[in-house]
Structure 1
Amino acid sequence: MALIGPECTTTVLSDRFFDSESGSLVPAIISVENGVVAKLSSGQSLPAVAFAGKTINLTGLLVTPGLVDFHTHLFHGQDLGVHADTLIKHGVTAAVDAGSAGAHIFPAFKELVIDKSKLRIQSFLNIATVGTTSILLQGELKSPAYCNEEIAISTALNFPDEIIGIKVRASKDVGGDFAVEGFLKARSAATKLGLPLMVHLGPAPVDVEYILERLGAGDILTHAFTGWEGNNLVVDSKPRASFVAAKKRGVLFDIGHGMGGFDSTVAKVLIDHGFYPDTISTDIHTYSKEKVVGLPEVLSKFVALGMELSEVLKRATTSPAEFGRFNTIGVGTIYPGMQADIAAFESIEAEQIFSDCHGHSFAGNMRLVPVFTMINGEVLFDRDGRAN
């Protein structure tokens, strides 16, 4: 239940507002009417005056546009899926589902999850018609009968507002002897549709070089900063040459932390060489949620590894909003006329210890803890009761 409804005229006060255009942290007054940002005044000291309607004082917190998680699994009821609206308490207001549903079950996913969630959801369609119905069963690509390019294309054309690309888990454990053929079918379907292809990078023998040379501008490699031995983006303590070439031609690289998608030693090498991920995401699902915690925790790890906070926030707001086709309604930014999605975080400034998926621990000096979430003018999470 909303703590404040969208019809309420609300003024949000911040002394540390992330301006997504400039990348700076500035004071701001955000006026919200009927679920929409009516006015944004930033860069000036906050006046000591009363405002009409409801005032929510978020001073002392980091205030951002609602976060966009670019890699999630939200088909609740599958063994893999988490309930979409549980992401709201992490400051997430929009998310991309990374192939939980294939063509045979996508209509159910739309009706039961996309249409009913407070969260805004876009989706990559799994090239396997059964999607990730259960990862306790054999991999979804191990049976060629479930990998139907024509049905995938037809489904994507039938749901153009929800399906933003094709997803394939191109690894031996998912596809067995059919893994490469499944990848190529996904590549073909995405090309025919004119949509991006998102590829899951897993253990060899589906080789990262083979994958990268078949990706073009706008395609996405997820779990990109993984540390699978011999099948990651670092060779001899330097960025892999094929990765650098792919980056130059516009291939996008997503984190997809999950259970095995993030290795801090690989990430540190790439970041130190000036190569940042394009999107920072969780790959949150039933089996990863304890390790991942939530998107703010994953963002904190990248600050610890040497990225500036503004660069980290961009990769969880404006960038995934653009690549996920959310930005036409203002997701990922706070701007007059756009829907009012706002998040706020406590920034704990003290030594913090983080861990990755491959047994490494590392230290940082800041951890983001979610405090407040507004979607479309509705306050849906308020840890400290600031909207009371």
Structure 2
Amino acid sequence: MTWDLLLAGGRTADGSPIDVAISKGVIAAVGPHLPRDASHISDITSRLITPGLVDLHTHVGPGYWGIDPDATAWHSGVTTWVDAGSAGAYTIDGLRRVAAGSSVRIPALLNISAVGLAGRTGESRDLGNCDVPLAVDTLQQHRDLLRGIKVRIDRDTVGDNGVEPLRRGLAAAETAGVPVMVHIGTTPPSLDEVLDLLRPGDIVTHCASGIAAPLGPAVHAAVERGVLLDIGHGSGAFAFDVLERQLAAGLRPHTISTDLHARSLYGPVFDLPTTMAKLLAAGLTLSEVVTATTEAPARALGLPGGRLVPGAPADLAVFTVHEEEFDVTDAHRQVRRSPLRLVNDLSYVGGRPLIPRLPAPVPPWVPLTDVQRAALARRERDIRALLATPLVGVEGLAEQFPRESEPRESRNS
């Protein structure tokens, strides 16, 4: 049998040699020395190959926070973008249109608030928006797209409603048989009150938040009963000092996600490989970081993929691993040194390579520093100059339509 594609000479996160063969959009075979029997062979000698990265917390739907996933996916290796609550029951059709038009996979978590994230915050101040039967009906009608419920619990989002939106999200999730992801932040309500409600398999995102600072006994109790901790970096929800205290106390993130959105894309998050480098800086191993961005998030939501095994979707990412230290920054401008830099070289969804996409203009409501604005302007100039320069000179061209060896006029004279 001839495979469609063979990625040859790669290595796994633990350094083991590996080849990956692809046929009809799925992984056909995996092994250290597969036969070179493929329509196309890509030499990835000594480079890291992983399942396509699964970002458990992103925002790609319409609204205040949403971004275009394709413009980042092709150079970051993220092939599955879990939209975490951008859409509620009233706005789910808009998210479905985004998912249908994207090159990457976009499963989603339904916001318990039917209005979703059309604005910056406040979606659960009116409990009329947190309609449990409506959420259940929406989950059942969109089971191919929706994998759980998202609830944001912080002072600005819920107002005087405390944990009632979370109670309603849990009720809907229980009926539909799906997990809940809960965002934590400013109090009230108290963090302990939020954590005590969660069930095994539910997810706490922003688990290393410098604002929520989840470090007490309630966090340990939640983890012990099976609640999952997710990084969810975002523009204000990741602090090195909190993570380091958690690690010292035996609390480790189960999944690593970006909370990539319109206000974090230009920094401090940038992309998932950069976020992975921050966890490496905190002391996690490369194998731990890869598992937390592939197999672990896929298992948390019952998603296909996440593993390099025959029969899995051929969602793959290939990286050059530069063994060089570089500075990484959290949401509060604390700096650490990462021992590795991961640079994505190739990304595949269903065996097809993701093609380059230019980034969209910055939405006018996104706050940027003068340095960020200057960097974006410089990037635009660099891209324009690159594309405005002829691709090759005469030495790189072929005569596609050769002239006849003798001009016609000469033959007729």
Structure 2-normalised TM-score?
A: 0.81
Give the 3-state SS of the residue equivalent to 1:59 in structure 2: coil
Q: Report the Cα distance in structure 1 between the residues aligned to 2:84 and 2:162, rounded to whole angstroms.
A: 18
- For residues 289 and 116 of structure 1, the distance between their equivalents in structure 2, rounded to whole angstroms, comes to 21
Q: Which residue, 137, 157, 175 being the options, matches 1:192?
A: 175
Partner residue, 2:66: 81
Q: 1:64 aligns with which of 36, 42, 50?
A: 50
Match of 1:344 in 2: 318
| 2:17 counterpart (18, 27, 34) | 27
What is the percent sequence identity of the aligned residues?
Answer: 36
Give the match for residue 120 of structure 1. Answer: 105
Give the 3-state SS of the residue equivalent to 1:253 in structure 2: strand
Higher relative contact order (CA 8 A, sep 6+): 1
User: Does the 8 A contact of 1:141 with 1:179 survive in 2?
Assistant: no
Could you tell me which residue of structure 2 aligns to residue 362 of structure 1? 336
> 2:172 & 2:23 partners in 1: Cα distance?
43
Q: Which residue identity lines up with residue 135 of structure 2 in the other structure?
A: A
Shift of 1:289: 0.6
Picking from 131, 144, 148, the partner of 1:148 is: 131
Give matches, 1:182-261, under 5 Å: 182-228=165-211, 231-234=212-215, 240-261=216-237
Secondary structure of 1:307's partner? Answer: coil
Equivalent of 1:177, from 160, 179, 192? Answer: 160
1:65-124 residue CA offsets vs partner (Å, 9 max, x unmatched): 11000000011x4231011323422101112110000001112311x1222222112111
Q: Does residue 102 of structure 1 match 2:88?
A: yes
**Residues 274 and 381 of structure 1, relative CA distance in 2, 3 Å threshold:** farther
Asked if the contact 1:74/1:97 (under 8 Å) is kept, the reply is: yes
The aligned counterpart of 1:36 is: 26
- Superposition deviation, residue 173 in structure 1: 1.1
Indicate if the aligned counterparts of 2:173 and 2:180 stay in contact, CA closer than 8 A. Answer: yes
**Unaligned runs of at least 5 residues, structure 2:** 358-413
Matched, 1:287 2:263: yes
User: 1:307, CA displacement in angstroms?
Assistant: 0.7
- The one-letter code sitting in structure 2 at the alignment partner of 1:254 is D
List gaps (5 residues or longer) in structure 1: 1-6, 19-23, 235-239, 384-388
- 1:259 is aligned with what amino acid? S
Shift of 1:337: 2.2
How far did residue 127 of structure 1 move? 0.7
Between stretches 363-372 and 164-173, larger displacement belongs to: 363-372
Kept in 2, the 8 Å contact 1:354–1:363? The answer is yes
Shift of 1:204: 1.2
**CA positional deviation for 1:164:** 1.4
Question: Structure 1 residues 8 and 74 mapped into 2: Cα distance closer, same or farther (>3 Å)?
Answer: farther
Task: Name the SS of the counterpart of 1:373 in structure 2.
Answer: strand
Partner residue of 2:349?
A: 375
Q: Is the 8 A contact 2:148 2:301 kept in 1?
A: no
Counterpart CA distance in 2 for 1:310 and 1:286 is 29
Residue 386 of structure 1: aligned partner: none
Residue number among 275, 282, 295 corresponding to 1:305 in the alignment: 282
Q: Which residue number corresponds to residue 371 of structure 2?
A: none
Most deviating of 56-65 and 281-290:
56-65
Tell whether the 8 Å contact from 2:9 to 2:17 is kept in structure 1 after alignment: yes
Cα separation, partners in 2 of 1:339 and 1:310, compared to 1, 3 Å: same
1:17: which partner in 2? 12
User: What are the superposed Cα offsets for residues 30-55 of structure 1, whole Å, 9 maximum, x if unpaired?
Assistant: 2212222222112x5x89xx644211
TM norm structure 1: 0.87
Matched AA of 2:214: L
The CA deviation at 1:338 is 2.2
Residue matched to 2:147: 164
Counterpart amino acid of 1:10? L
Structure 2 match to 1:3: none
Rounded to whole Å, the distance in 2 between the matches of 1:332 and 1:189 is 27
What letter matches 1:365 in structure 2?
Answer: P
Deviations 1:172-207 (A, max 9, x none): 111211243222222222223232111100111121
Q: Does structure 1 retain, via aligned residues, the 8 Å contact 2:317–2:348?
A: yes
Moved more, 63-72 or 50-59: 50-59
Q: CA RMSD in A?
A: 2.0
Task: List structure 1 runs of 4+ shifted beyond 3 angstroms.
Answer: none
Q: Output the CA distance in 1 between the equivalents of 2:355 and 2:220.
A: 41
**Map of 1:314 onto structure 2:** 291
- Distance in 1 separating the partners of 2:11 and 2:165: 47
